[in-house]
Amino acid sequence: MNSKNLFFPPALMLGTFAAALLIALLLVDFSASRQNELAQAKKLVAQHDRMFAEHVARSLDSIEVLLDEMRIAIQEGDRWQNWSSAVGHQRLKERLSRVLPQIRHLLIFDAEGYQRHTSFAEQPQMINVRDRPYFRALEGGAERSQYGPYIGRNSNRPTYAFARRLGSSKHFSGALMIAIEPDYFEQHCRSSRPYGSFEAGLVNAEGKVVALCRSLTWPASQKADTLPDFREVMAEGDFANMPLNMNRNQIEGTRYLLAVEPVSGYPNLRIVSVTPTSLLTGNWQKNAYRILSFGLFAIAILIAAGLLIRRQLKQLSALTTELKASHDSLENRVQEATQELNYRRSEAERLAQSKSRFFAAASHDLRQPLHALQLFLADLSRISNAPEERVLIERIDTAARAMASQLRSLLDISRLDMDSITPERKEISVKRLFEQLASTFQPMAAAVGVRLLFRASDTKLETDEALLTRLLGNLIDNAIKFSDSGSVLVCTRRRPNGIRIEVRDNGEGIAPANQAAVFDEFYQVANRARTQDAGLGLGLAISHRIACLLGTSISLRSREGQGSTFSLTLPCTSGQSTPDMPDETQLPTLVLIGEPGNFAERATRWGYTVKIAEDIPRAWRLLEAERAIPVVNQPGNCVLPNEVQSLLRQHPGVVITSAECELPEIGVYQLREPVKPARLRALLRSLH
């Protein structure tokens, strides 16, 4: 069979499969990206509706507060029944000028339902509202009522009414009413809508439109029962046959997305919005065109790649044979190299052990004659009195002591390399260890003009005292040698995992290029000439090996001209590694100042301990005695006494006041009545 025919079908099948896979991936991506963009757009619409609903709720709350205040004012002050038309008009007009712009009219009706006083006319029309549902509800004994939408008899415009009962519980004397019109809500909606073609409306529970975000003609003869339903006038009537469901939801139609958001505190009102689906997925359509163009381009590339694969498969068949032969040859070479490497490694280990044994034996054998030499020098120094002989004896003694120190270092290196030392761990005092080191190295430091300082905390360590003493001694000795009439500080620092011991000097420092090599054997940065009093460069190598035996490591921080710091961290004995820290999971105590109310019971259910302070000195004592948060509850007073302000500046906390209160900036968190429990609990958690 021709090799060309042999490789073409697999290449064609592979290219076809890749093209089909790409198309499937594009379709999946189209669908997923559209759903993602639509989901994001739905969140934006829901957020706008929620903000609009909160705005409507706040506006209506202000109307409710105004009605309550006016009812008290006109019933406790001058009797409104005795007002003349001019006086009633003036008083309502003045009150209307100080309220929010959504209020259209203020009106007072007598017990028979006749219009007595209005804010818009000194001589109001003689109309009767006794047939209105809100008036009938007040006449029947209700304290408050609301109703709408309906066509106002004064304005002949769509209106929503809020009313309060006038008179006592047994005697009905009339109604105080506020009429609002949709202009204010429609303007706010149009100024804040997220899309240009966005429609929103304020509707009642029966679906009747109270306010709409676009122009809508209201016929003069329109009655309450014939006011338009939002399903008929919004979205071009696409949702006209939809069952009425006024719960919070989002319904995706063929052309529009309809969203419903309840108005908090007003179960009869809803925010309904309609947005074209094409507007919500506009960015997705643009991206879809770009992705489609890219997909076509990728398919063309895949076709070209299929042809290249056909050629590569032919070459691959030829290379497979060559690779098999190379593989067999490589296996033989790897086996030979592995055997050679194992042989060289075992030889290196044998030589290293031999070197360590040699140094150990040589150091041990040389110590006896060296000791005898030092005894002879002592005898010779007693019988020699000539100055020249004394100088010669001192030089021989210096050379002998240097040789003894170097032999001792070589012996230590060999013992550490041969793993012949096992640490004997026991509890030791850092302060006592530093006192021993001070008595040993203070004379040496004073002789060369170096100031040696020790600062230790009263802490216990569990380690090998002899090995740690030798390790720190090498570091201190090294620091004294290279400080040149400076100072050396040996100190401790607490760390979460133990105690950090540091040896600091202010010598010449170590260049970054040399810091990695200072722990190697026979390496000295500033002793190229190998002077006798500077040693062989084994001190840091010995310290490094001892640190490994003790289960730690030595770290180095150094800069040229600014000295060096060698440090190591060792674990403390039980209960002394770190100072006691407060338990962050334990809830703090709450110190209550002012009226208890139901705060104490609620905070106790949440797990807090509540202590009530009868006066400010008592509050100071409680806050200074333990970790606590002050809570000032004074809903009937907007002024904080000076002593309370002083306490809150020192101990920030929470102040609960009436809704109209404004506190000075003293670093506290203010909550206004009515306080939502979830918000109060979240604030206490954040302060914790």
> Exposed/middle/buried for 30, CB within 10 Å: 0-12, 13-18, 19+?
middle
The H-or-E segment that residue 249 falls in is: strand 249-252
The model's pLDDT over 280-305, given as tens digits with 9 standing for 90+, comes to: 776 777 777 777 777 777 777 877 77
Whether the pLDDT of residue 216 is over 80: the answer is: no
From 1.20.58, 3.30.70, 3.30.450, 2.40.128, which CATH number describes the 44-59+189-277 domain? Answer: 3.30.450
**Between residues 536 and 433, which one has the greater pLDDT?**
433
pLDDT band at 510 (very low <50, low <70, confident <90, very high): confident
In the chain, where does the domain assigned CATH 3.30.565.10 lie?
A: 424-570
Whether the pLDDT of residue 439 is over 70: the answer is: yes
Most confident of 415-419, 598-602, 612-616: 612-616
Give the Cα separation of 180 and 194 in Å (integer).
25
The model's pLDDT over 71-98, given as tens digits with 9 standing for 90+, comes to: 888 887 667 888 888 888 888 888 776 5
CATH code of 73-183, in short, is 3.30.450.20
Q: Are 625 and 574 in contact (CB under 8 A)?
A: no
pTM more than 0.85: no
Q: Which CATH architecture group holds 589-687?
A: 3-Layer(aba) Sandwich (3.40)
Sign of CA dihedral 603, 609, 612, 613: negative
Cα 256 off chain centre by: 39
pLDDT at residue 175, rounded to an integer:
92
Q: Are 455 and 421 in contact (CB under 8 A)?
A: no
Tokens at 319, concatenated: 């290379």
Mean pLDDT value across residues 656-666: 76
Q: Given this structure, which CATH class describes domain 424-570? A: alpha beta
pLDDT at residue 53, rounded to an integer:
87
pLDDT band at 365 (very low <50, low <70, confident <90, very high): low
pLDDT at residue 640, rounded to an integer:
80
pLDDT band at 356 (very low <50, low <70, confident <90, very high): low
Alpha helices, DSSP H only, in 77-201? 85-96, 133-139, 183-192
**Between residues 10 and 600, which one has the greater pLDDT?**
600
The model's pLDDT over 231-249, given as tens digits with 9 standing for 90+, comes to: 888 888 888 888 888 888 8
The model's pLDDT over 94-110, given as tens digits with 9 standing for 90+, comes to: 877 655 666 778 889 99
Whether the pLDDT of residue 262 is over 90: the answer is: yes
In the chain, where does the domain assigned CATH 3.30.450.20 lie?
A: 73-183
- Partners of 175 in the beta sheet? 109, 165
What does pLDDT average to over the chain?
77
Q: Pick the range with the lowest mean pLDDT from 51-55, 369-373, 466-470, 622-626.
A: 369-373
pLDDT at residue 591, rounded to an integer:
84
Whether the pLDDT of residue 548 is over 50: the answer is: yes
Mean pLDDT value across residues 607-613: 85
Give the Cα separation of 294 and 222 in Å (integer).
57
Cα 72 off chain centre by: 50
Q: Pick the range with the lowest mean pLDDT from 130-144, 473-487, 529-543, 638-652.
A: 529-543
Mean pLDDT value across residues 273-282: 79
Most confident of 26-35, 313-322, 369-378: 313-322
**Between residues 359 and 112, which one has the greater pLDDT?**
112
- Partners of 366 in the beta sheet? none
Q: Residues near 627 by Cβ (< 8 Å), separated by ≥ 6?
A: 582, 588, 589
Give the Cα separation of 487 and 479 in Å (integer).
9
